[in-house]
């Protein structure tokens, strides 16, 4: 070994170029296919992880909203709340797993995600005022 040279190729692109240059086209194609499959698998895993994180965050927020609803309804009574909040409460209790966007789509008339979130903030503010969640 001391009397010969050794070349190291680290990057996938360099290895592919070398394989093609030496005429090992089948090996180059096989390697490229593996790289593509690995890339797609990584992309899918990344998307799944992001979706799972979003689902967990939404579920936690829904639980917090249910607690706020319970406190506000117990303190004020459902009939004493504004109609918009009553509608939101009915939707959230009926569809506890739904996202804000989905709740808005189920509302009559349909509401934007922003409008639903405004109701959530209002409800959570009322819950804080009465000391819920402390």
What whole-number distance in Å separates Cα of residue 2 and Cα of residue 93? 76
What whole-number distance in Å separates Cα of residue 47 and Cα of residue 30? 26
Q: Do the domain assignments include residue 65?
A: yes
Q: How many domains does the chain have?
A: 1
What whole-number distance in Å separates Cα of residue 86 and Cα of residue 116? 12
pLDDT at 126: 95
Q: Do the domain assignments include residue 91?
A: yes
What whole-number distance in Å separates Cα of residue 113 and Cα of residue 102? 8
2 pLDDT above the threshold of 90: no
What whole-number distance in Å separates Cα of residue 66 and Cα of residue 78? 14
70 is in which domain, residue-wise?
56-129
Q: Do the domain assignments include residue 48?
A: no
pLDDT at 124: 95
Tell whether pTM > 0.75: no
pLDDT tens-digit readout, 83-108: 999 999 999 999 999 999 999 999 99
Q: Do the domain assignments include residue 119?
A: yes
pLDDT tens-digit readout, 35-47: 999 999 999 999 9
Q: Do the domain assignments include residue 27?
A: no
Phi, psi values for residue 7, rounded to 5°: -115, 135
3-state helix, strand, coil in the chain (%, to 5): 75, 0, 25
Q: Do the domain assignments include residue 3?
A: no
Q: Do the domain assignments include residue 87?
A: yes
């Amino acid at each position: 070994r001391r009397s010969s040279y050794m070349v190291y190729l680290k990057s996938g692109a360099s290895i592919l170029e070398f394989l093609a240059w030496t005429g090992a086209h089948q090996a180059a194609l096989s390697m490229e296919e593996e790289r593509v499959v690995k890339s797609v698998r990584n992309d899918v895993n990344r998307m799944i992880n992001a979706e799972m994180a979003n689902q967990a965050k939404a579920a936690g927020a829904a639980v917090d909203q249910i607690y706020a609803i319970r406190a506000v309804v117990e303190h004020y009574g459902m009939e004493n709340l504004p109609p918009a909040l009553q509608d939101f409460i009915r939707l959230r209790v009926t569809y506890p797993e739904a996202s804000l966007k989905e709740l808005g789509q189920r509302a009559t008339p349909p509401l934007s995600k922003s409008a639903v979130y405004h109701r959530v903030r209002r409800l959570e503010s009322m819950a804080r005022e009465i000391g819920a969640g402390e």
